[in-house]
Amino acid sequence: MIGRNIGLKKSSGERDSYDQLEAIMKLRNIVRTSKLDKKPHIKKYYRIRDLHQDIVNSMVKYYQDGKFEQKINADYVPEEHPDNTFTPISAHFDLDTREGSQAFFDMLIYKPAPNMNCITEEYIKNQRYRLPSRKEFLHSMLTSKLGLFTIEKTDSKEGYVYLKEVFTGDEYKIVDIALSGDINFKSVYIYTRIITHCHISFNTGLSLIFTKSDGFIEEYIQQQVTENGSYREFLMFTQLYNQYSRFPGNVKIITNQISELS
């Protein structure tokens, strides 16, 4: 369930009603999840998520051990817009918050811009893994899609969520057990990264939620319609994260899943 939390004072009756609804939704999700866990595609999804988490944990340690330095090629010229120059975008990542740590490591692990290196790229270049399954998954990570999506529909019985990217129109069917059980999905935009591996698509832990009634996001979409080029993903990443980090408690998602770091 997605609920708006804008700091308004609620009466005790309203709080009790909301708490009861939250408890009911959590109980329903537990029952629904137990049924989903028996399905073959969900078992496959769990195996892929475990592989993803293991690789991400390795990459975080790789960075913390001082083995990776992110670099920017300032001489890079985009082929589609040769007159454009790269302008660094600033963002403050508060590593004491879930969103801050996820955003920080997202920039290090994945490919943030065509002239910036990332850990996944370095793992592939250095042939970090010998197992074919891990090699293949690194390429799935490198070609993952970060975007702003509308939730077109959900399938709670199968755990699927159908997304459509706002700017490109690209459509995805992802496995998201918690979100597939949400009843108010049409009221929000979700900014997240999608990885597709072995015909299973899923979104990573970096998920910023904006309500469609939010004046910022509506104005942002209008401004971005005319924007193009290699850096749109990078610009969108920093701009949406900066806005979200200013108001981190504006939207709450009630789920029965634990968010993972990346």
Give the pLDDT score at 112. Answer: 82
The helix (H) or strand (E) run that includes residue 74 is: none
Question: What is the torsion angle, in degrees rounded to the nearest 10, for the CA atoms of residue 186, residue 188, residue 192 and residue 197?
Answer: -10
**pLDDT tens, per residue, the chain with 262 residues:** 343 333 334 456 656 665 666 666 666 677 778 889 999 999 999 999 999 999 999 999 999 999 999 888 777 665 655 455 555 556 677 888 888 888 889 989 998 888 889 999 999 999 999 999 999 999 999 999 999 999 999 999 999 999 999 988 999 999 998 888 887 788 899 999 999 999 999 998 778 888 888 888 888 888 775 555 445 677 788 888 888 887 655 544 333 333 344 4
Q: Give 192-195's long-range contacts (Cβ < 8 A, gap of 24+).
A: 192/146, 192/147, 192/149, 193/106, 193/110, 193/144, 193/145, 193/146, 194/144, 194/145, 194/146, 194/147, 194/163, 195/52, 195/140, 195/141, 195/144
Residue 99's pLDDT is 81
Copy the structure tokens of residue 207: 């998920």
pTM as predicted = 0.78
Q: How far apart are CA 67 and CA 122, in angstroms?
A: 10
Q: What is the DSSP string of 103-155?
A: HHHHHHHS--STTB--HHHHHHHTT---SHHHHHHHHHHHT-EEEEEEEEEEE
Identify the pLDDT of residue 89: 55
Q: How far apart are CA 5 and CA 229, in angstroms?
A: 35
pLDDT reported for residue 172: 97
Query: What's the confidence (pLDDT) of residue 257?
Result: 37
> Pairing mode, if any, of strands 251-253 and 200-211?
unpaired
